């Protein structure tokens, strides 16, 4: 029996393996992007449902309780009515907050600038932080993926500042040129060593830093943390400003891949 020499991969095999890998990565990116769209649509519809259905029913209960509490016939059960009214007020507030945190309708109705301004003003006031805005981004509406991911990144950056930074002042800037939208969130807090924290995150210790990077990359952009102990923290995110035509074709392609995957698995 003759032993055949092991065939090593030739340059054309390597190239085709590399091409296949690149194609897989591209498909994965398109699917991840579609997944985020689906998740945001879900959140939008739950937020609306909470606000419109549950919120309105609770408002009716609130009005009825107020009317009942004012009636002279209710004097013997006034403490119970007042307690119920307080409970309904509280639940209404919670429903309102959950709905806004799921997906602020402002992001859909008025766009990124307005939503960021509203969200940061509200949250920093609650946390006792001073906030300064610098906005020079286009007035027109941007690609919905960019608006969503930029908002979610800013949201996580702010959550991290409130949870970890012990900051007093927060500076938020949103600027754009012809090609890129640039978000910067800078705090004057305690800062941290970025590389070791990122390594810990990769090993599963936390999600925030990695999800910010992932979100930026899903929108075709990049993200960077600049920080060191005692020097505060800056989060930068850049997003390419695409034309709507290329968006449409990417979305169409995503739907095609989803459909072909679906038919493959439902056979």
Ligand X SMILES: Nc1ncnc2c1ncn2[C@@H]1O[C@H](COP(=O)(O)OP(=O)(O)OP(=O)(O)O)[C@@H](O)[C@H]1O
The CA–CA distances, whole Å, from 169 to 83, 150, 165, 173, 248 equal 39, 21, 10, 13, 40
The crossing angle, in degrees rounded to 10, of helices 208-218 and 194-202 is 90
Q: Are 103 and 47 in contact (CB under 8 A)?
A: yes
Report what 192 binds from ligand X, Mg ion, none; CB cut-off 5-8 Å by kind. ligand X
C-alpha 74/C-alpha 63 separation (Å) is 15
Q: Does 201 bind ligand X (CB under 6 A)?
A: yes
CB 112 within 8 A of CB 154: no
* Residue 235 beta carbon to ligand X: minimum distance, rounded to whole angstroms: 7
| Closer to ligand X by Cβ: residue 125 or 207 | 207
> Tokens 């949250």 map to which residue?
123
Torsion angle defined by CA atoms of residues 195, 199, 204 and 205, in that order, rounded to the nearest 10 degrees: -50
**Structure tokens belonging to residue 129:** 């932080």
Contact status: 160 vs Mg ion (CB under 5 A): yes
Q: How far apart are CB 143 and ligand X at their closest, in Å?
A: 25
Closest CB to ligand X among residues 108, 197: 197
When asked if residue 207 is in the footprint of ligand X (CB under 6 A), the reply is yes
Among 55, 138, 144, 208, binds ligand X (CB under 6 A): 208
Kindly give the interhelix angle for 208-218 and 11-49, rounded to the nearest 10 degrees. 110
Nearer Cβ to ligand X (199/256):
199
Backbone angles phi, psi at 173, to 5 degrees: -130, 145
Neighbours of 105 (CB within 10 A): 15
- Enumerate residues 134-193 that contact ligand X by CB under 6 A: 160-161, 163-165, 187, 189-192
Which residue stretch of 15-23, 71-79, 207-215, 245-253 sits at the interface with ligand X (rule: CB under 6 A)? Answer: 207-215
> Which CB atom, from 50 or from 165, has the smaller least distance to Mg ion?
165
Q: How near is the Cβ of 156 to Mg ion at its closest, in Å?
A: 6
Task: Kindly state whether residue 197 participates in binding ligand X, applying the rule CB under 6 A.
Answer: yes
Residue nearest to ligand X (CB): 208
List contacts with Mg ion (CB under 5 A): 160, 208
List contacts with ligand X (CB under 6 A): 160-161, 163-165, 187, 189-192, 197, 201, 206-209, 233
């Amino acid at each position: 029996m003759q032993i055949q020499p092991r065939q090593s991969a030739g340059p054309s095999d390597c190239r085709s393996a590399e091409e296949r890998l690149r194609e897989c990565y591209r498909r994965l990116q398109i699917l991840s992007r579609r997944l985020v769209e689906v998740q945001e649509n879900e959140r939008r519809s739950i937020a609306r449902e909470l606000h419109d259905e549950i919120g309105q029913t609770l408002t009716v209960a609130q009005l009825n309780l107020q009317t009942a509490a004012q009636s002279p016939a209710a004097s013997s059960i006034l403490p119970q009515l007042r307690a119920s009214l307080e409970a309904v007020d509280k639940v209404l507030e919670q429903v309102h907050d959950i709905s806004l945190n799921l997906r602020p309708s402002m992001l859909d109705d008025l766009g990124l600038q307005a939503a960021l301004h509203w969200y940061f003003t509200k949250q920093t006031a609650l946390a006792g932080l001073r906030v300064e805005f610098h906005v020079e981004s286009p007035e027109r509406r941007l690609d919905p993926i960019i608006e969503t991911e930029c908002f979610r990144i800013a949201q996580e950056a702010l959550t991290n500042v409130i949870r970890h930074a012990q900051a007093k002042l927060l500076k938020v800037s949103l600027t754009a040129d012809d090609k890129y939208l640039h978000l910067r969130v800078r705090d004057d807090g305690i800062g941290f060593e970025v590389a070791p924290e990122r390594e810990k995150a990769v090993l599963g210790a936390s999600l925030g830093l990695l999800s910010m990077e992932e979100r930026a990359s899903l929108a075709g952009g990049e993200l960077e943390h600049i920080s060191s102990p005692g020097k505060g923290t800056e989060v930068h995110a850049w997003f390419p400003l695409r034309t709507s035509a290329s968006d449409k074709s990417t979305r169409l392609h995503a739907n095609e891949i989803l459909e072909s995957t679906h038919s493959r698995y439902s056979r």
